Structure 1
C-alpha cells in the first residue's frame, strides 16, 4: 500500500506511545510519590481488555533483550496478563514471527535504539502485517515505550548532540515505521531536556506536530489522530506551523537556529488533542 492510499484510510486500530520508564517491575517512577492521581501500571493496563488475548513483545531495539524479557514477564503477570511472548527479530525466521503477529491483539516495542528497530523492521513482511492489522482491526494496538514509541511515525529523530543551543546540522532525521503521520515523537522529554531537539525537528518539518512524551506518560491514539493522555507526567506538543521569523533555511553549519512563534501545548492525564488540527480538550 503506497503512502497516498494509506492516507485515505482511517485506521481502525490504536497506537499507544509511551515516554519511557512507565510503571513496571524494577522501575521507580518519580511521580508515584508526588502525583495524587497516580495509578499503578496505569499505562500498561491499557494494552488489553481481555487479559487472555495475545501480546507479542518486540525487543529488537534493546541490547539486553533477556533483561527486557524478565522485566515485562514479571510486570505482565502482576497485571494479570497470561498470554504473551517475546520476539527479538534480527532478519531471521521472519515467517514464524509474521504468523505470531497475525494472531496477536497487541504488539509492543520495548526501548533501546529507535534506528535499530526501523533498520530491522521497516520494509519487511512484519511491518506490512502490522500496518494491515492497524488499518483494519478495531481492537488491535501497536504500542511502544521510549525508542519503541519514537519509531512509530514516518519521520524519526535518530541522533543529535543534545546540547543547550540548537545548532544547524546537529540533528539527524530518518524514516520511521510509518504508523503515525505528520508527527515526530520524542521521549524521556522532560527528564533529558529534549525541548530544543524536538523544536528543531518540527522547524525542519513544519507539517509535523512534535510530541514530547514525559516518563510514565503516554498518548493513546485512535483514528490516527485523536489522542488522549494517560499517566502521571505530561506531554508537550510543539507546532511550527505558524512560525514567524526564523533562520532555519539559511543558517550555516554550526551556527545557532532561532524561531519565533512556536506554539506549545501542555497535556496531562485526561486531556485530548487532535494531532491533525491541534484542537485541544481539557478533561471533563
Structure 2
C-alpha cells in the first residue's frame, strides 16, 4: 500500500463512502417523502452493474453482525443482487476470507465502530489484498457506510465529544485503512451535529479535506480524487487550507479552539468535487 502511494499510482478501482442510514430494509429515510429527486436504493444500486458479480459484506465493525446480515441480505435481494456473502473476522477463518475477497468485485463495510475495523484489518494480508485490487483492478469497489466509510482514509476520527464549543483534547485521531488520501471522513454529519468535531480534525490536519456525509448520501470516488455525490441528503466539504487566525497550536487543555476562514462546500446529488484541487462542479 505504501509503495503504491510513493509511486503516485492512480487507483483503477472506486470508493463508495456513505453517510449511514442509506435506503435499505428497515431504515426510515427522512428525505424519502420530501426530496422530489429521491430514488429508492439509489446508493446501494451503485455497487454493481452486473448483478451476478460477487459482493463480500464485512460486518467487523458491528456488535450485531446477525442483524446486519439480515438487513443487507433482504435489501440486496430486493435490488436483484444474487451473489453475496458475509464476513465477520471474529470467526477467524482467514484463508477462506482471503480467497473470497480476491474473487470479489465489491467489498462493503457495514457500520458500527470504525476503530474496530482498523484494529482488525489495518496492516494485515486482507488490507494488502484490498489495496492491490483497488489500485489495479478496473471497477473494483471498496464501499462503506457510517463507520465503514470513516475507516477509509489515512487519518480517522476514532472518538470525539459532541459539544457546543470545540475544546482542546476533546478529539482522538488515529490511523485508518489508507485507501483515501488527503481527507478525513465523518458520517451522520447533519443529524448528529458533527460540524465541530470535523472542523477540529481539519484544523489539526490542514492538508486534508473534511468530508461530512449526510444520511442516505454518498460520494462515489474515482481515481482516488474525483468524487460525485449521490443520494437524498448533502455532503459538507470543509477546507482548512486558508485558515487565518487560530489558537489550535497554543490552546490549553479544556479551553475553546477558534479558527478564521474555514471554508465549506454544500454538495448534493449530481454535484462533483475534486478532492485534490477542491474544484467544484454543479450538475
Residues 31, 232 of structure 1: 8 Å contact kept = yes
SS, match of residue 197 in structure 2: helix
2:166: which partner in 1? Answer: 166
Q: Deviations over 1:210-243 (max 9, x none)?
A: 0000000000000000000000000000000000
Structure 2 CA distance for aligned equivalents of residues 75 and 140 of structure 1: 21
1:7 Cα offset (Å): 5.5
Residue 25 of structure 1 aligns with which residue? 25
C-alpha distance in 1 between matches for 2:216 and 2:15: 16
Residue number in structure 1 paired with 2:68: 68
How far did 1:161 drift? 1.2
Tell me by how many angstroms 1:6 deviates.
4.7
Quote the residue 2:192 is aligned against: 192
Count of residues in correspondence between the two structures:
283
Distance 1:6 1:31, change over 3 A: farther
The CA distance in 1 between the partners of 2:165 and 2:96, in whole Å, is 47
From the superposition, tell whether residues 154 and 20 of structure 1 become closer, same or farther in structure 2 (CA, over 3 Å): same
SS of the counterpart of 2:69? helix
- The normalised TM-score by structure 1 is 0.98
Counterpart in the other structure of 2:178: 178
Q: Does 1:265 find its partner at 2:265? A: yes
TM-score w.r.t. the length of structure 2 is 0.99
Structure 2 residues not aligned, in runs of 5+: none
Deviation at 1:5, TM superposition (A): 3.9
Q: CA deviation at 1:139?
A: 1.4
Instruction: Report the Cα distance in structure 2 between the residues aligned to 1:210 and 1:94, rounded to whole angstroms.
Output: 34
SS in 2 for 1:174: strand
**Residues 90, 120 of structure 1: 8 Å contact kept:** no
Bigger shift: residues 2-11 or 184-193? 2-11
Separation (CA, whole Å) in 2 of partners of 1:163 and 1:272: 31
Q: Secondary structure at the match of 1:39?
A: coil
1:150 corresponds to: 150
- Note the C-alpha offset of 1:94: 1.6
C-alpha spacing 1:4/1:135, structure 2 compared with 1 (3 Å): closer
User: Match of 1:90, SS?
Assistant: helix
Rounded to whole Å, the distance in 2 between the matches of 1:211 and 1:64 is 27
* Alignment partners' CA distance in 2, 1:123 and 1:159: 21
Q: Which moved more, 1:224-233 or 1:6-15?
A: 6-15
In structure 2, distance between residues paired with 1:4 and 1:13:
14
